[in-house]
Amino acid sequence: MTLPAWDWRLSDLAGIPHHGKTVFSCFSCGGGSTMGYKLAGYRVLGNVEIDPQMMKIYRKNHNPSHPFLMPIQEFKSIPDADLPPELFNLDILDGSPPCSVFSTAGAREDKWGGEYAFREGQAVQQLDDLFFEFLEVAEKLQPRVIVAENVKGMLIGKARGFVSLVLYRLREIGYRPQLFLLNSATMGVPQKRERLFFAASRNDLKFPRLKLEFNEPPILYGEVRQGRGKPINPESRTFQRWHRKRPPDLNMGDVTEREEGKVSNFNTILLKDQKVANTLASSSVFLRDDVPEHISDTDAIHIQTFPSDYDFMDADVQYVCGMSVPPIMMHRIAEQIHLQWLDPK
């Protein structure tokens, strides 16, 4: 029996034919993008990651040739002579600069210019500078193609000025950038995840305009649902609200607005079998609509299209998945970049 594309194993990568194109990944987290590139036949040379726990997990699952556990600022300052020569002959430099300051949740403009650490054990950084640090790495390595992923919120309100600066900087370092707002639900991923992708080709290569158009049928939560989830604490307000929900309610914010006169807990999502799952974020709460329990870890793995044999070690499954690009989403993009740009024959 042929398994659906979202149901796969890391061991399947051994059967993927390689075409020889190379990738280096920045802000790699658990390697969602890395797995997407590998599914599309690329050789991922290594990664830069600031989080010790995420690097440990990345090394366990991907065995990179050139791992760099350090902030991107330190990596860009490594003398050229001390870097592996193959990094200066890259096909793709990939990166997902941390994007929480551009999220549409909360008073995001208040966070701009501030310094934060995502979690304990990470260095404090000014997050809205990281995209430009990434572009300095691109200027240093001069890959044929740059691919960067970020949140849809970069296209909303004042953040559009930040996007303009990114596009200007890409042109300044010798690249022709394009912007794509893509929804993973149209790309074989059982999740409504809208993300902004920058794809830029080096000026001297004269590549045509890239076309990224996807129209795969939606995959409903009921098709990927599996196993039992952790029960909702019967002593909690969430449990009480869950029992007061109505069929049209999509999240606990709908319940609190109706029952308590205010909107709260809108990040506590009610997943229905007949609908596509919402964006799986590292901090969101997903509850099953028909039974008072959280989704299972297996659900999170399926929703994010992580492989079933991925070793999360001591990390929270939803955190690793939620911080990553869905592998199948990146697979679709990487495949088209190869077909249209890197090997158009």
> Hey, what amino acid is at 164?
S
Three-state DSSP string of the chain = CCCCCCCCCHHHHHHCCCCCCEEEEECCCCCHHHHHHHHCCCEEEEEEECCHHHHHHHHHHHCCCEEEECCHHHHHCCCHHHCCHHHHHCCEEEECCCCHHHCCCCCHHHHCCCEECCCCCCCCEEHHHHHHHHHHHHHHHCCCEEEEEEEHHHHCCCHHHHHHHHHHHHHHCCEEEEEEEEEHHHCCCCCCCEEEEEEEEEHHHCCCCCCCCCCCCCCCHHHHCCCCCCECCCCCHHHHHHHHCCCCCCEHHHHHHHHHCCCCCCCEEEECCCCCCCCCCCCCEEEECCCCEECCHHHHHHHCCCCCCCCCCCCCHHHHHHCCCCHHHHHHHHHHHHHHHHCCC
Q: State the Cα–Cα distance between residues 95 and 203, nearest whole angstrom.
A: 20
Residue in the structure block whose two tokens are 């300052």 = 77
| Alpha-carbon separation of residue 215 from 40, 189, 309, 335, 338 (angstroms) | 18, 11, 28, 15, 19
Q: State the Cα–Cα distance between residues 254 and 269, nearest whole angstrom.
A: 10
Identify whether 99 is a catalytic site residue. Answer: yes
Catalytic residue among 26, 29, 99, 321: 99
User: What are the catalytic residues?
Assistant: 99
